[in-house]
Each structure stands twice: as C-alpha cells, then as structure tokens.
Amino acid sequence: MELLKGKVAIVTGGTRGIGYAVVKKFLENGASVALCGSRKDTVDKALEKLAQEMPGSSVIGLWPDLQNPAEVADAVDQVVREFGKLDILVNNAGISAREKFLDYNPEDFKKIMDLNVNAVFVCAQAAAKVMEKQGGGAILNTSSMVSIYGQQSGVGYPASKFAVNGLTKSLARELGKYNIRMNAVAPGVTRTDMVAALPEAMIKPLIATIPLGRIGEPEDIANAFLFLASDLASYVTGEILSVDGAAMN
C-alpha cells in the first residue's frame, strides 16, 4: 500500500536511526521527502545510502540550523518550490542526556532545550504557516517513553520531551481549526546506533523489563509515524503514541 502517495514530507534528524527509518518508510509509501540533517556531509552520506537502497526515490537533502527561524523558513520554502506543497513535518532531531543532576552544567541543560524544544517550535511554526494556507497537514514530533515516566539521570532529556508533549497537545487544540493535526510518537528502547553499541550485559536486563521480550526496531517506530502521517489517522490529533512494548506499564 502507498499510504502517503502524492504527499510531501520533511523529516528532521533524518540521516540515521529512527529518522532514517521514517524517511525510508515514507518513500516506500509514495511520499516525496526532504531529509534534514545537522551537516551537509551527513546528509550527503544518507542520500548516497538511499540511492543504493531505494534508487529513483523522490528525496532531497537539507541542513538548516533548526533553531534559526530564517533558515528554517528558507528550507520550507525550498521544499515547496521543489515539490509544490508540504503535507507532513516530522520533528525528529534531538539529543539525549545522562548527567547527574548535582553535576549538571546549566549550559548543557540549555543546549538540550534549544534543540529538543525550541527547534520543534521553530520548525512547527514554519510548517504550520504553509499548511494553514494549504488547508491542512500533519505535524509529528518525536517524544520518548521518559517523557511519561522520567529517568534516573540526565533530567534535561525527559524535561525536554515533557515540553514536546505539551507543545503537541496544545497545538493540536490551537491548529485544529486549520485542519492541521499534531501528534507525537514516544519510542521505548530502540535499536539505534547508540543502543546497538551497548554490551549484551546491559541489553539483557533492558529486555527483561519489556513484556514483549525484545527492544524496538527503528521500523517499529517508523510504522507509528506512517500511521499518524496518513489519512488513516485523519481524526487523530493531540495524541502521544507510546511504542515501547509496554516497557513501563
């Protein structure tokens, strides 16, 4: 099935991990995609990989500063010029944290808030201005299971994802009149590069806490984004969709 046939999407943080899986899933389902990364070299590398795995796909690469409203607006305009419209934004770019609170540098806390929260605001606003004129669209944010349950260290990360949930729910109420849907996906432990590099002695205890008996794959998370981006979710907005194997339930 091509659930996104004819749709145009922007995916930030799309060069690897969950973001790259979302880009592939959207392309497989008929969308044209603008893949965004932090640097030109990482974007080019992702585009080369896509050219090998999915030759002929309708994809372009961009690397705006997501905290700079002017650069983000220019990137959105470029996507509209290239593909004619913008139907979907996936705010996936972000960084994590593990610092103990008593040792937490305020500058590191600000850094994680700038990318995980402020950039989501900037990108969502730029996309919403286009979608409002078009008559609708879908904006999706990457949250986290720790936005619901917290975590034992690195308070900046769950705090930032709590904020993402707040943006998601509030903007769903504010932008609904423009037929713009706002949702978030809250992944659990997922086999990204960082998790794959962990020793098995650390992975096994993690798996033991998950009722489904395994950690998530990037494609599991991408499938949730696909559903929320598609017309199958046309009456779903303001939701934080947990995809964590019931790890903390």
Whether residue 45 lies inside any domain: the answer is: yes
Q: Which range marks the domain in which residue 128 is found? A: 8-243
Contacts of 77 (CB under 8 A, 6+ apart): none
- How far is residue 66 CA from its own chain's centroid? 13
**Structural contact between residues 35 and 61, judged by C-beta atoms closer than 8 angstroms:** yes
> What's the pLDDT at 226?
98
Count of structural domains, the chain: 1
Whether residue 178 lies inside any domain: the answer is: yes
Whether residue 120 lies inside any domain: the answer is: yes
How do the pLDDT tens digits run along the chain, 249 residues long?
799 999 999 999 999 999 999 999 999 999 999 999 999 999 999 999 999 999 999 999 999 999 999 999 999 999 999 999 999 999 999 998 889 999 999 999 999 999 999 999 999 999 999 999 999 999 999 999 999 999 888 999 999 999 999 999 999 999 999 999 999 999 999 998 767 766 788 788 889 999 999 999 999 999 999 999 999 999 999 999 999 999 976
Say whether 178 is catalytic. no
Whether residue 248 lies inside any domain: the answer is: no
CATH code, 132? 3.40.50.720
Whether residue 106 lies inside any domain: the answer is: yes
Q: Which of 20, 157, 178, 235 is catalytic?
A: 157
Whether residue 128 lies inside any domain: the answer is: yes
* Nearest one of 214, 246, 226 to 145, comparing CA atoms: 246
> What's the pLDDT at 196?
74
For tokens 């934004």, the residue is 89
The pair phi, psi for residue 79, each rounded to 5°, is -65, -45
Contacts of 8 (CB under 8 A, 6+ apart): 31, 32, 33, 34, 79, 83, 84, 85, 86, 87, 88
Whether residue 166 lies inside any domain: the answer is: yes
> What's the pLDDT at 194?
67
Distance CA 214, CA 243 (A): 12
Whether residue 249 lies inside any domain: the answer is: no
Distance CA 186, CA 58 (A): 28
